[in-house]
Amino acid sequence: MRVLLFTGKGGVGKTTTAAATALRIAELGKRVIVTSADPAHSLSDSMGVALGTEPIEVAPRCWAQQLDARERLEENWGEIRGWMMEMLDWAGVEAIEAEELSIIPGLDELFALTEVEALCESGLFDVVVVDCAPTAETIRLLSLPDILSWYMERLYPASRRMNRMVGPLLSRLTSLPVADDAVFSAGQRLYDRLDSVRRILADPKVTSARLVMNAEAMVIAEARRTYTYLSLFGYHVDAVIVNRILPESVQDPWFENWRAQQQSHLETIESSFGALPVFRADHVGGEVVGMDALKQFADGLWGEVDASCRLLTGRPLRVDREGDEYVLSIDLPFADSEDLDLSRSGDDLFISIGPHRRNLSLPDSLSRREISSAGLRNGSLAIRFVAAPLPLGSAIGRST
């Protein structure tokens, strides 16, 4: 089973790349589905086929779908939403406003994430291709299982027990709607699905993220940040795709300045992303719409490469033993030590880079040990553990 995530800044051609890749993989004889996790769906427009929530076969061995966020919302959020609307009604919020407020922003993207788990578990497909939302939303989306797991493992059980003890008393003393066990069970079911998604997406043998970009300075800068943040949350990036390269056949002098700028940016990309393979797609001089155009695009992009395979092996997070010490290494390409902060509380290690934070639960082999040092070198954060007790709440401070 393989899952391929295509992400990039809005407008760089990630939907085109995802759709074309799915068609190419299907031509190789594998059953593949391409699904959109971008709330602003454009997959249907790209393929020139009307798509809905249910997968349809758009080419031999290739299926496609665009999720109906409202339908998935009712399936996954119904009990919780009903309780929230009762709470808002009790607080005096008008019905229409209460209905809107009961839908937390980003839920449509969250339920798109759970669809990946359902597609993998169905056994109907060999490869799942995901057209992700633009980079900022993708990072927030992929960090959700990690963030929610910390809450569900530590605070959720206590909240549920407290509700069982205090709920009946509140019901007798006030008309405040109290969440019953069905609401908590719905939350648990949603978390269980997200936890399953996290295991799928964080397994580099199953999932690869691919960065789509144009040869432009601002786009490259955002792609570098995305690479760092995806690595922070344990997702394996195995390729860079540079779209809309001016082809050699275009010799008009008017394009010479553009060609020179692109060449400079391409050299930056080649040197910046280290061992990541870089694939290029020529500018076709217009929109890539429809099956024939997508297949032609895929031919130029992938050549003889099997796009469903792992294009780069490696582990973004690993634990190695060096003598009496254990070293936890996390690949954080392009991270700056000035933006990196570490702290620890019990079994939890908190890693912050800029606005993004990851809560990493330490394995037993490390949780009983003390951190002796932490350093960032050549795009890899190395944290050393020695055999000594660590007081709760101690801080590591800023990495050097």
Average pLDDT over residues 37-60: 89
Average pLDDT over residues 363-376: 85
Specify whether 288 is located in the same domain as 353.
Answer: no
Average pLDDT over residues 229-254: 88
pLDDT at 73: 62
User: Other C-beta atoms within 10 Å of 281: how many?
Assistant: 22
Residue 224 backbone phi and psi in degrees, to 5: -60, -45
Specify whether 299 is located in the same domain as 344.
Answer: no
Average pLDDT over residues 234-239: 91
Specify whether 310 is located in the same domain as 328.
Answer: no
pTM (2 decimals)?
Answer: 0.78
Specify whether 279 is located in the same domain as 391.
Answer: no
Instruction: Give the range among 12-21, 34-43, 57-66, 281-290 with minimum mean pLDDT.
Output: 34-43
Specify whether 229 is located in the same domain as 369.
Answer: no
pLDDT at 24: 97
Q: Which of 271, 296, 314 is the last residue of a domain?
A: 314
pLDDT at 170: 47
Specify whether 240 is located in the same domain as 362.
Answer: no
Specify whether 250 is located in the same domain as 105.
Answer: yes
Q: How confident is the model at residue 295 (pLDDT cuts 50, 70, 90)?
A: very high
* 284 vs 92: CA distance, rounded Å: 57
Specify whether 292 is located in the same domain as 352.
Answer: no
Specify whether 166 is located in the same domain as 243.
Answer: yes
Edge-to-edge strands of the sheet including 356-361? 356-361, 348-353, 340-345, 395-398
Please determine, for residue 57, whether its predicted confidence score (pLDDT) is greater than 50: yes
SS3 breakdown of the chain: % helix, strand, coil, rounded to 5? 45, 25, 30
pLDDT at 390: 45
Average pLDDT over residues 97-120: 67
Domain count, the chain: 2
pLDDT at 95: 56
Whichever domain contains 60, its CATH number is 3.40.50.300
| Residue with more model confidence, 228 or 7 | 7
Average pLDDT over residues 75-95: 62
Specify whether 185 is located in the same domain as 298.
Answer: yes
* 202 vs 193: CA distance, rounded Å: 14
| Residue with more model confidence, 72 or 316 | 316
Radius of gyration of the chain (CA): 24
Average pLDDT over residues 325-333: 89
* 236 vs 315: CA distance, rounded Å: 7
Q: Which of 314, 346, 375 is the last residue of a domain?
A: 314
SS3 of residue 354 by DSSP: coil
Q: Give the E-state strand segments of the chain in sequence order.
A: 2-7, 32-36, 56-59, 62-66, 127-131, 207-214, 237-245, 278-282, 317-322, 325-331, 340-345, 348-353, 356-361, 370-377, 380-386, 395-398
Q: Which of 296, 314, 332 is the last residue of a domain?
A: 314
pLDDT tens profile 143-200: 777 766 666 666 555 555 555 555 555 455 555 555 666 666 767 777 777 778 888 9
| Residue with more model confidence, 161 or 258 | 258
Q: In whole numbers, what is the pLDDT of the chain averaged over residues?
A: 81
Specify whether 234 is located in the same domain as 351.
Answer: no
* 265 vs 217: CA distance, rounded Å: 7
* 398 vs 377: CA distance, rounded Å: 14
C-beta of residue 3 within 8 angstroms of C-beta of residue 128: yes
| Residue with more model confidence, 221 or 59 | 59
pLDDT at 85: 66
Provide the percentage of residues in the chain whose pLDDT is more than 70: 75
Please determine, for residue 18, whether its predicted confidence score (pLDDT) is greater than 80: yes
Instruction: Give the range among 136-150, 256-270, 358-372 with minimum mean pLDDT.
Output: 136-150
C-beta of residue 378 within 8 angstroms of C-beta of residue 368: no
Average pLDDT over residues 279-290: 92
Whichever domain contains 367, its CATH number is 2.60.40.790
Specify whether 277 is located in the same domain as 375.
Answer: no
Q: How confident is the model at residue 6 (pLDDT cuts 50, 70, 90)?
A: very high
C-beta of residue 7 within 8 angstroms of C-beta of residue 212: yes
The residue segments making up the domain with residue 386 are 317-398
pLDDT at 58: 97
